[in-house]
Amino acid sequence: MENAERWVRDLCWAVNSPSLLGESALLRGSENASLGAWQLRPEDVDREHLSRELSERFPRRTGRYFERLILYWLEHLRGCRLVAHGLQVRDDNRTVGEIDVLFRDEHDRLTHWELAVKFYLQVAPGKTAASDYVGPNVRDTLERKTRRLVEHQLRLSERYFPDVEVRQAFVKGRIFTPWQTRPATLEPKRAGVSERFSPVLADDHLRGRWIRHGDAATAFATDDLHCRVLKKPYWLADQTAQASGDAMFSSGECVVFLKNHFDNRPGPVLLSRCRMGSPAPEPAQPLFVVPDHWPNLHEED
């Protein structure tokens, strides 16, 4: 049942974790329910049923995994009626976009949600623009993603599904700041950016750190933390030193693993770092390790 426990933990994280973006950034001009209105307990989830649903065509990409978890929650735990999922929108035989999910909520309101789980690395300390929050795939930035959500994806239902009463971008994730620096804040909206587009991180958004591979050995030598390598699609829920699953590495073993990894491929590595042997479980410390020349890369992660 190891996978079932992990899936339940990730499902609760997908529902309960704070929004990555502030509501004003994504929901302007729409009638919306609060993004923080729901909480899910592990005991509310039928593990066997969840396992059956996820085991069929299990997604290997983190975004697809997150999407499956949210759809499961909507249909099987909230009791919403799914109307469409991954709906291609066409206009005069031309595809103009895709709507992630249309559903009838508990009040029978036709609802349009765009779903995303995003991990962005702040490229420099201090005040920074939305374009300076970059994904492991460097073509993905906070500014680009938010602009597309607000100015394209959420607008599809305004034009093609006028019966929609609620439009919402359901965005979770984490912001990673440079190793041993203070988190940055977004600069005020810049000139030339439309009034509908104003990306603001939620005050309580989840955080982590990132470090370049060349600095990892020195940084790890000064602490006694152990590391777990998080493999896709399991990048969601926080973990603790006592959590079962992939083997834990000592800091020294992790340095060797990272050298072998970056000698063979350029993709960033996501670590969960914990102190072993603590009297009580400690929150994990998420850490992205990136190639030395990141973000001057163009490879897919």
CB 271 within 8 A of CB 286: yes
Residue 100 φ/ψ, nearest 5 degrees = -65, -55
Tell me: pLDDT of 35 over 90. no
Beta strands in 105-236 (DSSP E): 110-122, 133-134, 166-178, 206-212, 226-230
CA distance 130 to 177: 13
Looking at residue 300, its pLDDT comes to 44
Question: Among candidates 119, 115, 117, which has minimal Cα distance to 169?
Answer: 115
Q: What is the mean pLDDT of residues 245-251?
A: 73
Residues 168-223 pLDDT 10s: 999 999 999 998 775 555 555 544 444 444 467 888 899 999 999 999 988 888 77
Looking at residue 116, its pLDDT comes to 95
Burial grade of 225 (CB within 10 A; 0-12, 13-18, 19 or more): buried
Amino acid at 1: M
CA distance 213 to 290: 6
CA end-to-end span of the chain, whole Å? 29
CA distance 189 to 257: 41
Looking at residue 63, its pLDDT comes to 95
Residues 224-242 pLDDT 10s: 788 889 989 999 987 654 4
Range from 28-37, 99-108, 126-135, 282-291 carrying the lowest mean pLDDT: 28-37
Burial grade of 48 (CB within 10 A; 0-12, 13-18, 19 or more): exposed
pTM: 0.86
Helix (H, G, I), strand (E, B) or coil at 51: helix
Question: Among candidates 5, 30, 2, 55, which has minimal Cα distance to 237?
Answer: 5
CA distance 252 to 221: 7
Tell me: pLDDT of 244 over 70. no
